[in-house]
Chain A
Amino acid sequence: MKAPGKMLPRIVGFILRRPVTVRYPKERLTPPEGLRGKMKFYPERCINCGLCARDCPSGACTMHDVEGGKKQPQFDLDFCTFCGQCAESCPKQAIEMTKEFELAHYNKGEAIVK
């Protein structure tokens, strides 16, 4: 007869342990090095090639007119899946993925990176 209670020592151990969760927003966990958060766009590096918009899988990155008759990308974070393909496709490193991940906002269309 196999007796129950194989897990008992661990259950007792749990009573004495600190909770795993932290008290956000007072305490914050540091995001890992490679996290892909909100992107940063450097308009001066952009050569208007449109590769970022072409490769974007979710339609978050679209080309918009800027002065001088040229087009530059805009990123709608409401659509973005943060895959980082735009940053990888960019031949001039004009797009950079930062570690900023707290992107909550009130209205649609507020989170647009230009």
Chain B
Amino acid sequence: MPRVRLPIGPQHPALKEPENFMITLDGEQVVDVDIRIGYTHRGIEKLMESRTYIQNLYLVERICGICSYAHVVNFSQNVEEVLGLTIPPRASYLRTLVLELERLHSHFLWLGVAGHEIGFDTLFMYTWEDREVVQDLLEDISGNRVNYAYNTIGGVRRDLGEEQKKRVLDGMDYLEKRATFYKEVAVNEKTILSRAEGVGILKPEVGKRLAAVGPTIRASGVAVDIRKEDPYASYGDVSFDVITTDSCDVLGRVVVRVLEIFECIKIIRQLMEKLPAGDLVVKAPRKVPEGEAMSHTEAPRGEDFHYLHANGTDKPDRYKVRTPTMANLPAVVEMLKGTFLADVPIIVAAIDPCMGCMDRVLLLKDEEKPGERISWDQLRVYANTWYANRGWLG
């Protein structure tokens, strides 16, 4: 059977974000995948060079709508490192709280999206309803549902009152109940099992070689978690487990994320219990001295990496972001090989892709020719020769 090259995207009704997947098919089976990125490049890194650090706080937040707080914490940590600031413990705890709430909302959101991709829209509706609880808590704490504007250089902008604390704990009680239900559903519901079990296999050694991050690699049994390995904010003060599974498939990624919801709840309860009193912010100068800093956090999707080079003015000299989706994309190519075309949506969705955050400038060095370009005359000659060689009966 001849191989078929099937382009999906950049404009495609099934894709929510414009990326190009060039899938080579042998019958129904995927033989090879080429991913072309760069269609949603927004130039945020360059834009940051022309804005002050305070303005950049709100720009960095907009790299991603879902893991916005992980980005802004990275940015603040970078600037604080260059400035030599230590943030007050209360601010550090509150940052951790919002980071974990964000992880909760991201995992609930992903669970719904995964349900939607396998045609299980009931799950989508249920999880997104429960996500509203987290969103309301975030709005209560920070003032916004998304892009919280909660962070500032040197601390956080708002305090957490006693009533809010109670509301957070009540919310956690509710979400724990719901998460227990989803745990039951994820491993027992046939709708999920039949589409997720044994699909999109990523072997641990392949995942390590391709530097996959976050729940994607943890579902392959590799315990990589920046929160544990290089504790930032207040993760050093709380105890939690790094969730892994050995199944290496999409079901494993569902299970890892559902179980991580419990860990989030555990962390948030500890934070609320230990929350120290004190200042919220230390005053930071507007100008940042010359220097460079690197910071990484465990965003809901995996390791999020930021680099800052400061040149002594109030604007950064160079800023670099590497989002988790970027790290996971090579692994997606491996996961897709050998599967069926019908499994492509859920495998791609299983890394929780966020193409908008990921897109950077792409330089194609040894580009494989997408197709030969020929002129009209060449085509005419080719056509005539082809028919001449074909003979009368051809």
A56 on the interface (CB 8 Å rule)? yes
A78 on the interface (CB 8 Å rule)? no
Contact A6 to B184, CB < 8 A, known contacts A56-B55, A57-B55, A88-B157: yes
CB atoms of A55 and B52 under 8 A apart: yes
Residues of A within 8 A of B56 (CB): 57
B residues lining the A interface (CB < 8 Å): 51-52, 54-59, 122-123, 126, 129, 132, 136, 139-144, 147, 149, 152, 157-158, 181, 184-185, 188-191, 193
Contact A2 to B55, CB < 8 A, known contacts A7-B122, A84-B143: no
CB atoms of A85 and B58 under 8 A apart: yes
Residues of A within 8 A of B51 (CB): 57
Contact of A32 among B123, B140, B188, B191 (CB under 8 A): B140
Nearest neighbor of A36 in chain B, beta-carbon distance: B143
A98 on the interface (CB 8 Å rule)? no
Residues of B within 8 A of A88 (CB): 152, 157
CA distance A54 to B188 in the complex (A): 56
CA distance A36 to B147 in the complex (A): 12
CB atoms of B54 and A85 under 8 A apart: yes
CB distance from A59 to the nearest CB of B (A): 9
Nearest neighbor of B189 in chain A, beta-carbon distance: A6
Residues of B within 8 A of A28 (CB): none
Contact A3 to B190, CB < 8 A, known contacts A57-B51, A58-B58, A84-B149: yes
CB atoms of B190 and A57 under 8 A apart: no
A residues lining the B interface (CB < 8 Å): 2-4, 6-7, 10-11, 20, 32-36, 54-58, 81-85, 88-89
CB distance from B227 to the nearest CB of A (A): 27
Contact of A55 among B55, B132, B184 (CB under 8 A): B55
CB atoms of A83 and B142 under 8 A apart: no
Residues of B within 8 A of A2 (CB): 188-190, 193
**18 more A-B residue pairs beyond the given contacts A6-B184, A36-B149, with a C-beta to C-beta distance below 8 A:** A2-B189, A4-B190, A6-B189, A7-B122, A7-B123, A10-B126, A10-B181, A20-B129, A32-B140, A34-B139, A34-B143, A36-B143, A57-B54, A57-B59, A82-B149, A83-B149, A85-B149, A89-B54
CA distance A84 to B56 in the complex (A): 14
CB atoms of A34 and B158 under 8 A apart: yes
CB distance from A15 to the nearest CB of B (A): 13
CB distance from B242 to the nearest CB of A (A): 28
Interface secondary structure of B, over-half rule: helix
Residues of A within 8 A of B189 (CB): 2, 4, 6-7
Nearest neighbor of B125 in chain A, beta-carbon distance: A14
Residues of A within 8 A of B58 (CB): 57-58, 81, 83, 85
CB atoms of A35 and B149 under 8 A apart: no
Residues of B within 8 A of A58 (CB): 58
CB distance from B355 to the nearest CB of A (A): 23
CA distance A11 to B189 in the complex (A): 14
Residues of A within 8 A of B190 (CB): 2-4
Contact A34 to B140, CB < 8 A, known contacts A2-B193, A4-B191: yes
Residues of A within 8 A of B181 (CB): 10
Contact A6 to B188, CB < 8 A, known contacts A20-B129, A34-B158: yes
Residues of A within 8 A of B142 (CB): 34
Residues of B within 8 A of A36 (CB): 143-144, 149
Residues of B within 8 A of A11 (CB): 122
CB atoms of B139 and A35 under 8 A apart: yes
Residues of A within 8 A of B152 (CB): 88
CB distance from A30 to the nearest CB of B (A): 12
Residues of B within 8 A of A56 (CB): 55
Residues of A within 8 A of B157 (CB): 84, 88
Contact of B185 among A6, A57, A81 (CB under 8 A): A6
